[in-house]
């Protein structure tokens, strides 16, 4: 090997050694620098030193988190203050995670990235801690204020009609969706407001189903001495009746048929008007039993029954019961059941 060749080899080795040293020096100079393209919770910390990244995260991520969280539903707004939520952040941990991804890939990969201006496209999730119990309580408060139970369709009885009252849909907060949105908002410096989403809750009884809920309905109009029988909310027949005389008024209100009897016995009230019969039990069918043919008990000892005093029908003549023609009370008895509603106006 000639002397010139030896010199060339030595020079080449020196250059390689010097180059390698420069590469290591370049890499070492960047060991405390976060790679371009790295973000923490949306904050661009690429090209920053650890200290610079900490300051930037504090300013751009944490300070905005020190604002209230708001849940909106229609015109209603529900606010959770940051001091109640006790928001805390591990800034050091987030920055160290950003630095760690910047050092991945080995020396050749890093040097190539330095030389070509390449990026490390990595999003570091913000490490934000908060009071889960406080968030749970806040969500429960939103539910309490937003949730609306469905209202079943119903009937509003009057002396002369049965008026349908439409059902109303209810609303129920989508709790899982609200929790996910709030947990994301807790860690977001940009969006501190979320919208509560709800599920529609349908009533168990809709307006269309209302008639089938009331196969039979009795309305007693004391003023006109009439009993109206409705089937599926349609008037079927009107009967002339007698009601309680003054001082023995038939009770008003919404009741239902409590019991039914054929040829009922009469448990005579222990009242002065009952005379010698007071407190006795008069068998069904007995001549001195005024409860003729059928009995449909309503409330407080009052009921619907047949009467032999046909002349009293169309007047206030009883001691509180509703009197009917015996033939008609038998007809009505066979049409209605225990539990059917009875409205007395």
Q: Looking at the annotation, which residues are catalytic?
A: 305, 321
Q: How far apart are CA 325 and CA 328, in angstroms?
A: 5
What does the block give as tokens for 209? Answer: 């189903």
Q: How far apart are CA 134 and CA 139, in angstroms?
A: 9
Q: Are 183 and 191 in contact (CB under 8 A)?
A: no
Total residues belonging to the chain: 345
Contact 126, 187 (CB under 8 A): yes
Give 103's DSSP letter: T
What is the distance between the alpha carbons of residues 157 and 214, in angstroms, rounded to a whole number?
12
CA distance 62 to 188: 9
Give, rounded to a whole angstrom, the gap between the first and last alpha carbons of the chain: 128
Tokens read off for 101 = 């991804």
CA dist 231 and 214 (Å) reads 7
3-class DSSP state of 50:
helix
Q: How does DSSP classify residue 68?
A: -
DSSP notation for 150-196: -B--EEEE-SS-EEEE--B-EEEE-HHHHHHHHHHHHT-SS--EEE-
* Token pair listed for 40: 């923490």
Nearest-5° Cα angle at 164, 160 to 168: 155
DSSP state of 92: H
What are phi and psi for residue 63, nearest 5 degrees?
A: -60, -45
CA distances from 342 to 154, 256, 297, 299, 304 (A): 15, 5, 10, 10, 10
């Amino acid at each position: 090997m000639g002397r010139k060749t030896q010199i060339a080899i030595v020079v080449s080795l020196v250059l390689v050694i010097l180059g390698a040293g420069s590469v290591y020096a370049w890499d070492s100079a960047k060991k405390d620098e976060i790679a371009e393209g790295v973000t923490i919770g949306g904050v661009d910390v690429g090209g920053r030193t650890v200290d610079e990244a900490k300051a930037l995260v504090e300013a751009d991520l944490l300070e905005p988190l020190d604002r209230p969280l708001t849940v909106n539903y229609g015109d209603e707004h529900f606010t959770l203050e940051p001091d109640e939520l006790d928001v805390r952040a591990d800034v050091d941990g987030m920055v160290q995670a950003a630095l760690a991804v910047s050092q991945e890939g080995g020396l050749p990969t890093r040097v190539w990235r330095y030389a070509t201006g390449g990026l490390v496209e990595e999003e570091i999730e913000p490490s934000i801690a908060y009071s889960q119990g406080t968030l749970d309580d806040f969500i429960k408060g939103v539910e309490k204020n937003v949730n609306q139970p469905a209202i079943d369709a119903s009937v509003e009885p009057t002396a002369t009609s049965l008026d349908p009252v439409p059902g109303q849909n209810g609303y129920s907060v989508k709790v899982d969706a609200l929790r996910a949105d709030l947990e994301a908002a807790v860690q977001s410096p940009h969006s501190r407001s979320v919208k509560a989403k709800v599920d529609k809750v349908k009533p168990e009884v809709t307006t269309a189903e209302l008639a089938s809920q009331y196969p039979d309905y009795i309305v007693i109009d004391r003023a006109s001495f009439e009993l109206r029988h409705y089937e599926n909310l349609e008037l079927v027949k009107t009967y002339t009746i007698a009601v309680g005389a003054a001082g023995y008024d038939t009770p008003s209100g919404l009741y239902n048929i409590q019991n039914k009897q054929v040829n009922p016995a009469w448990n005579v009230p222990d009242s002065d008007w009952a005379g010698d019969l007071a407190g006795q039990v008069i068998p069904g069918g007995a001549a001195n039993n005024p409860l003729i043919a059928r009995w449909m008990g309503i409330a407080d000892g009052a009921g619907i029954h047949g009467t032999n005093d046909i002349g009293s029908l169309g007047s206030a003549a009883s001691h509180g019961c509703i009197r009917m023609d015996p033939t008609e009370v038998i007809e009505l008895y066979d049409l209605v059941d225990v539990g059917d509603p009875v409205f007395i106006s």
